[in-house]
Structure 1
């Protein structure tokens, strides 16, 4: 009997499962389809949002790649810093001057204080004189200037230019131009910012004239960097603020010199209390580039042998650009 009951029960169970599969699960068919539709809607919205974000990023990238760079939308300080990089590249500098009046004004203020101005040929002297006459307000921006006109009749023009550029910091010229434009000029020193001087072709009897006026004495007393061509360094030269001193020759000049002068100046703390670096330059006799040595290990006395083709003007330009002998011989 028990076996019959289990057999009948099994038959009923199988029939029930068969009928459920045949007619479908009433619990599944009766479920609310809303949750499934809500999930699909949210998924569609998410895909649409991601697609819109990708399209927006592509549009921004396209605008950046195709639009011109608006330099003048930047803060003025950043714009000046960017423009200052062309100060040592005349073609790029001249191109920027032609862009617009606004760009020209910014380029002047960014580049002129960093540009080593060289006034040697007649064209250079006359064109710069016209430039200063047309824009006298820019004379105060000049900070680095080399003035050695090749013709004597250009001297008055060159002297007039130096007189107008009173904010010079680095200056290179001969004794006559220094006298006429700075040391012989009134009772008050005009070029109070000039701290670095390269003095060319100075005769022994010229020093007395250079220092004979109050302005001449004041000018040399304020110098921190001085370079003299040759090895004729006068004794008792008033240089209380001098920290860097250089003398010697360069280029094709094979005249001899001695490191004794520099070593004695380093030891003289009464005349030169702040002097800590002396550089003696000489023309390299063998092939090769620039070579630096120290004759005395515990003294900051340097000997720089420069290639025969290297000119004094190139040495000065490197120093004015802060890439010259003073940087090469700086403290480690």
Structure 2
């Protein structure tokens, strides 16, 4: 045995095992994850570039989309380098402080993404239900304040998690059956009473999910009521079309997140490698698909990307 199961200690490091049970195909697993990461970085960087260079896109909706793109670039970047070092060279060790930092960043970024999607729902609500008040309600100053609130909420809400983890002592193995330092995966290695850690993590997830999803559902309920009051079918279709990309992104973010949470908490019969796959899909796949969805569903972005590609082709 590498580690004593009976002695208490404050570890200097942990060991990430990757995808348990599939160690023999780690190298092959790295291929789709690399592809997803490259597509996520390229797609979100393209979104940011288009929004930056086109002054006509300097509107609240696209500023929120820029925040979402930055989050979608940061989240997979927090896990992929270490994941690839595990898959390619078997570098499983991660320093204790680095593990807690990764835990904090991943969960904080998840809360920030949820908050940004909620702010985007508010943007769509104002645009459709109170279009005459849009410019007065969603000024640049308001967008900045909402961005600060989203950031501070994530910081204050998630910071206690690693701080509570620091008080734990460990009497079991330092082996984490995961590709990154997930909160509960670390807490489960501790000895003694970990109920406070588990309860805090559960409360944060439930409060964030319930608060944000409730606001989103209420916003879209009011949006649908306003849309179906419009006189013409074309006007209804146009109004709903402006929300299509956002609804798709909301589904892609929350569906795997909720499923991953439920299987982690209650799906004890689900194989461990399924848990790990779901956790990685939740963090990486939406980051890849979000710019694709917005590029396909949002005419302004699609037109500017095609225009840029056409100009580059004509000059080459």
Give TM-score scaled by structure 1 length: 0.22
Larger Rg: 1
Structure number having the greater strand percentage: 1
